[in-house]
Every structure is written in structure tokens, then in C-alpha cells.
Amino acid sequence: MLLAQPSFAGLAAKRIVFFAGKGGVGKTTSAAAFALARAYSGARALLVSTDPAHNLGDIFGVGIGDSITPISANLEAIEIEQETETRKYLDQVKRNLSKAVQTTMLDEVMRQIDLVAHAPGTAEAAMFDRMVSIILDESHLFDVVVFDTAPTGHTIRLLSLPELMGVWIKGLLQRRQRRNEDYSQLLADGEPMEDPMFEVLNRRRERAAQVSNLLLNSKVTGFVFVLVPEYLPIAETRRGIDQLSQYDLHVETLFVNKLLPESVSDPFFQGRLDQQQQYRKQIDADFPRQAKLDLPLLSHDINTLQSLETIARHIEQALVLRENVVSRS
Ligand SMILES: Nc1ncnc2c1ncn2[C@@H]1O[C@H](COP(=O)(O)OP(=O)(O)O)[C@@H](O)[C@H]1O
Ligand SMILES: [Mg+2]
């Protein structure tokens, strides 16, 4: 029976793991518990929280914030904030542009940049930039980097950015190159002119492409969808998996969270349990290609290290069990 199920043994081997899913299903909890489970088994793990209401610090009893902070044996964490990242990102863009733009135009250009601060896409681009820097510049210190992403639609936009950004930057570069050729025709008798922005944009394009390749490599990167056995999270998971697969990103694992204990006897909870069990069966039928890891509903919120450890132990055991099943097969 077990052998017929897709295995999630591969999940323990990924270097980058993203947690996606509807708001409130337990992405942050699962990501933190998964990172802890990997740390238990000796992997050096970095947990990246993008949750606007960061509570990892409370759970782990350590102030975390915007720099990589040791948490426990083999586990470090960082909390990244959309607002801070957007500000840093725009400052960087300004610095780059101030090298490239004539002084007379500088004020106008800076004003334009301040205007895009709240434009759609800017915050995503900023968060993506930070993700790129973590993956390319910081991940070599770790065996696995675990991202608890923002809710589904957002996540998918973030992930599709490498492709979009590739096209966008390519267009920009071509337009700039053409314009430079026109200028140099006028100003420098056709001699090519140096363009500092060309360097900057090209570098960004290269980095986005590098990350895109890592994300598309299923040996390196894993996508986990977290859901609870209810109607809407199942529907959203289906949509999310379809959307990701349009970008050639394949979800191999589902974490089915908040499962009631079978021992409930009260008629109200018995009713809930029946419903959960039906949806749980539906999850098996609807997602035959994904391995499912079941997680229990605890009697209280997961806001202490102890409760997080309970979930982490479940994950650790499930990974080990499945690894054994697979290696025996
Ligand atoms: N298995 C569980 N048992 C009990 N409470 C849980 C469980 N998983 C998550 N929670 C609680 O549910 C809430 C939402 O979890 P969270 O991980 O923040 O979701 P998300 O990141 O998907 O929005 C939190 O209060 C968390 O403590
Ligand atoms: Mg969250």
C-alpha cells in the first residue's frame, strides 16, 4: 500500500523549500517545524519568514529581525519585512540611477522613483530581490533554506518574476543599446559609449536567471502546499498547483494540517471528524501525484517551542519512515 504512494523522501534532500497555501492553514508553522525537523537530523537549516505578523521570535524566544540569527542547534532564522525591503530596494535603484543620469535630471528621476514606491509590483520586486540575495549570497552556509511564503496568488507572482523580469530587462537593455547607438552616432562619431546602467541591468538579469534555474531544478527546490481538509483550501491547492505547473514548477508534497484525533467522542467533534475524513479521502483522490504528510491539530495554537517541536517530530518521523519504505523498495 505505502509503496504505491508517491514518496516525500526527496523532500529531505532539497536545498530550497517553499511553503505555499491559503492564509491561516499553517504555512509559517509548517515551514518552521520543517526547518526544525531538518535541523534535528543534522542539516544546517535557514528559516526565512516573510510573514507580516512575524511570530517566530516569540515561538523561539529569540529576537530575530532582518539579519540571520542563530536559533538552536543547526537552525538559524531571518524575518524579512516588505516595507523595509521596498525602501532598501528603491534606495538601491536610486543609487544606481544617480550614477547614470545627468545631474540636471536627477531630481525628476528621484521623484519618479518615489512615485513607483506604492505601484503594484514594486513590493514583490523588492521581496524577490531579497530572496535572490539570500539564495545566491547566503545559502551556501546552509544545507537547506526554508521559505514560508505569503499566500498563494502572491507566491506565484513572486515565483513567476524571474521569467517576467528576464523579458522586461531584455527589452530595456535592447532599447538602451539602440538609444546609445543613436547617441554615440551624434556625440562620439559612432564610437560606443559606456553605459553604467547596462552593467547594472545585465547583472540583475544574470542573477534572476541563476535563481530561476535553481527554482526550476526539482533536485534543488521543493514546493510544499499546506492545506487543511476543507472545501476551499482544497480548491485553492488545486488552482495553485495548476498555476505553478504552468511555470514548470512541480509540487511534490502536501502537508495536510490540523487533523482531529480519531478519539473524539463528542457528537459535534464526531461530525467534524467525519467531514475531515471525507475531505482527507478526497485529497488522496484529487492529488494522486503528491505525497501527503498528515499533521495533527494540537489542542492550542502553536506559539511555544514545545508545540512547534511536537509538529517537527511528526515531520521528522514521516520523512524517515518514508525514506525507509523507499529504500526497501
Ligand atoms: N496543527 C496545528 N494545531 C494547532 N494550531 C495550529 C496548527 N497549525 C497552525 N496552527 C495555528 O493556526 C494559526 C495559523 O497558522 P500559520 O502557520 O500562521 O498559518 P499561515 O502562515 O498559513 O497563515 C496560528 O495561530 C497557528 O498557531
Ligand atoms: Mg504565515
Q: Which of 199, 180, 204, 205 is nearest to 190 (CA)?
A: 180
With a Cβ cut-off of 6 Å, ligand 1 is lined by 21, 23-29, 51, 257-258, 295, 297-298, 301-303
pLDDT at 4: 47
Tell me, in angstroms, the distance from the centre of ligand 1 to residue 296's CA.
Answer: 11
The answer to whether position 161 is within a domain reads yes
Distance CA 121, CA 221 (A): 24
Domain harbouring 179, CATH code: 3.40.50.300
pTM: 0.85
Cα angle, residue 63 at apex, residues 58 and 66 outer, rounded to 5°: 120
Closest to 72 in 3D by CA, of 319, 248, 309, 252: 309
The pLDDT value given to residue 270: 97
Is the residue at 104 inside a domain?
Answer: no
The whole domain housing 280 covers 2-87+117-328
Measured in Å, residue 49 CA sits from the centre of ligand 2 at 8
In a domain, 216, yes or no: yes
What does the pLDDT profile of the chain (329 residues) look like in tens digits?
444 456 676 899 999 999 998 889 999 999 999 999 999 999 999 999 988 776 788 889 899 988 999 999 999 999 998 889 889 988 888 887 777 667 777 788 788 778 877 877 778 778 878 888 999 999 999 999 999 974 343 444 454 555 555 565 566 666 666 666 665 555 555 555 556 666 776 777 778 778 878 888 889 999 999 999 999 999 999 998 998 888 778 899 999 999 999 999 999 999 999 999 999 999 999 999 999 999 999 999 998 999 999 999 999 999 886 555 544 44
Please list, residue by residue across 5-17, b when 16 or more beta carbons sit within 10 angstroms of its beta carbon and e when fewer do: ebbbbbbbebbbb
Environment class of 288 (CB within 10 Å of its CB; exposed 0-12, middle 13-18, buried 19+): exposed
Q: Which residue, judged by its Cα, is nearest atom 16 of ligand 1?
A: 26
Within-domain flag for 11: yes
Q: How many CB atoms lie within 10 A of CB 184?
A: 15
What's the pLDDT score for residue 329?
A: 43
In this predicted structure, what is the pLDDT of residue 170?
Answer: 62
Protein residue with its CA nearest to atom 11 in ligand 1: 301
Say if 138 falls within a structural domain.
Answer: yes
Distance CA 70, CA 57 (A): 11
In a domain, 262, yes or no: yes
The ligand 1 atom at the shortest distance from the C-alpha of residue 55 is 18
Question: For residue 46, is it within any domain?
Answer: yes
Which of the listed residues 294, 298, 301 should we mutate to test ligand 1's pocket, taking the one with most ligand atoms within 8 A of CB?
301
Residue 219, in any domain of the structure: yes
What pLDDT does residue 105 have?
75
Cα gap 120→44, rounded to integer Å: 36
The alpha carbon of 257 and the centre of ligand 1 are apart by a number of angstroms equal to: 9
Domain count, the chain: 1
Say which ligand is closest to the CA of 49.
Answer: 2
Sorted by sequence, the CB contacts under 8 Å of residue 206 that are 6+ apart come out as none
